[in-house]
């Protein structure tokens, strides 16, 4: 069963607007972590934001915030004030337990229009 | 966050040959991971490499095809053996290091093309 689902293969957003990238997950563990990464065309994986399952507040990192809805098992990434440099693939990932491998979703390709 | 480098950054190889990819971290880390990203696909874990023990491989990956070394806490290598065009991928190493939740950071990747 797929554990991480990103239902938006591609998204467009106007420069300076906000955009939400969807991610749902499936786990029976009580302790888990959720990650978002950005992958530009160069191929590197850039860590953006982390949310732990026991964190009561939504994680924020600059223009990135994670809308964590535990009961719905969703961890959507919100990018505020989009910039042209935000155009890239975005991957949601989950780690079960305290440490170890990440399971990735299929990714969402974001295109920011000027 | 950890600074991770990989060598080579890219390579074009002939079918049947082998390539060894190096991953160097600027600090000591317990766990290192090797992922594969096939063209247009997401990332899939190949194996977890802990210093002083054999690597743990994921389903579908075997040591004979992807031997891994982890001689110390800052370095690891992944070899892609007897390559075929299906091995054309980006190979990425990653490490866990974080204050908040053991964030996982990735190296820049090795882009491999097999002809």
Kindly write down the DSSP assignment for every residue of A30-86, as one continuous string: SSEEEEEEEE-TT---EEEEEEETT-SS--EETTEEEEEETTTTEEEEEE-S--GGG
Q: Which residue of A has its CA nearest to B109?
A: A44
Contact A100 B105 (CB under 8 A): no
Q: Which residue of A has its CA nearest to B42?
A: A106
* Residue A92 bridge partners (DSSP): A36
User: For chain A, what percent of residues have pLDDT higher than 90?
Assistant: 84
CB < 8 Å to B111, chain A: 43
- CA Rg, chain B, in Å? 13
User: B91 in contact with A at a CB cutoff of 8 Å?
Assistant: no
CB < 8 Å to B48, chain A: 100-101
CA dist A105 to A112, B8, B55, B72, B110, Å? Answer: 21, 27, 24, 31, 21
CB < 8 Å to B102, chain A: 33, 95, 98-99
Tokens of A86: 């935000």
pLDDT at residue B98 in the model: 67
Checking if the pLDDT of A8 tops 70, the result is yes
* pLDDT band at residue A99 using 50, 70 and 90 as cut-offs: low
CB < 8 Å to A100, chain B: 31, 48
pLDDT at residue A64 in the model: 98
Q: What are the mean pLDDT values of chain B's consecutive 10-residue runs (115 residues total)?
A: 92 97 94 95 94 90 96 95 97 83 87 97
Give B47: exposed, middle or buried? Use CB within 10 Å, 0-12, 13-18, 19+.
buried
Round to whole Å and give the CA distance between A49 and A59.
7
Checking if the pLDDT of A1 tops 60, the result is no
pLDDT at residue B96 in the model: 86
Question: Taking the C-alpha atoms of A32, A38, A41 and A45 in order, what is their torsion angle to the nearest 10 degrees?
Answer: -50
Q: Tokens 């293969």 sit at which residue?
A: A9
User: B73 in contact with A at a CB cutoff of 8 Å?
Assistant: no
Contact, B48 vs B29, CB < 8 A? Answer: no
- CA Rg, chain A, in Å? 13
Round to whole Å and give the CA distance between A97 and B29.
18
Checking if the pLDDT of A104 tops 90, the result is yes
Round to whole Å and give the CA distance between B61 and B64.
9
Per DSSP, the three-state class of B45 is strand
> Most distant CA pair in chain A: distance in Å?
42
pLDDT at residue A56 in the model: 87
User: B61 in contact with A at a CB cutoff of 8 Å?
Assistant: no
Q: What is the pLDDT of residues A77-96, one digit of tens each?
A: 999 999 999 999 999 999 98
């Amino acid at each position: 069963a797929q554990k991480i689902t990103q239902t938006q293969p591609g998204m467009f957003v106007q420069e300076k607007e906000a955009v939400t990238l969807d991610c749902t997950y499936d786990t029976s563990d009580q302790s888990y972590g959720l990650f978002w990464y950005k992958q530009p065309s160069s191929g590197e994986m850039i860590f953006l934001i982390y949310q732990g399952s026991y964190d009561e507040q939504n994680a924020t990192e600059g223009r990135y915030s994670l809308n964590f809805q535990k009961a719905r098992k969703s961890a959507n990434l919100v990018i505020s004030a989009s910039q042209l440099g935000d155009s890239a693939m975005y991957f949601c990932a989950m780690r079960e337990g305290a440490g170890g491998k990440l399971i990735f979703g299929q990714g969402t390709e974001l295109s920011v229009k000027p | 966050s950890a600074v991770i480098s990989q060598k080579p950054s890219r390579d074009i190889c002939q079918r049947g040959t082998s390539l060894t990819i190096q991953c160097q971290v600027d600090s000591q880390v317990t766990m290192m991971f090797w992922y594969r990203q096939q063209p247009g696909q997401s990332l899939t874990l190949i194996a977890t490499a802990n210093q002083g023990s054999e690597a743990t491989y994921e389903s579908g990956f075997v040591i004979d095809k992807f031997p891994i070394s982890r001689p110390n806490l800052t370095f690891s290598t992944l070899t892609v053996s007897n390559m075929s065009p299906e091995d054309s991928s980006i190979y990425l190493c990653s490490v866990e290091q974080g204050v908040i939740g053991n964030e996982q950071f990735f190296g820049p990747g090795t882009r491999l093309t097999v002809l």
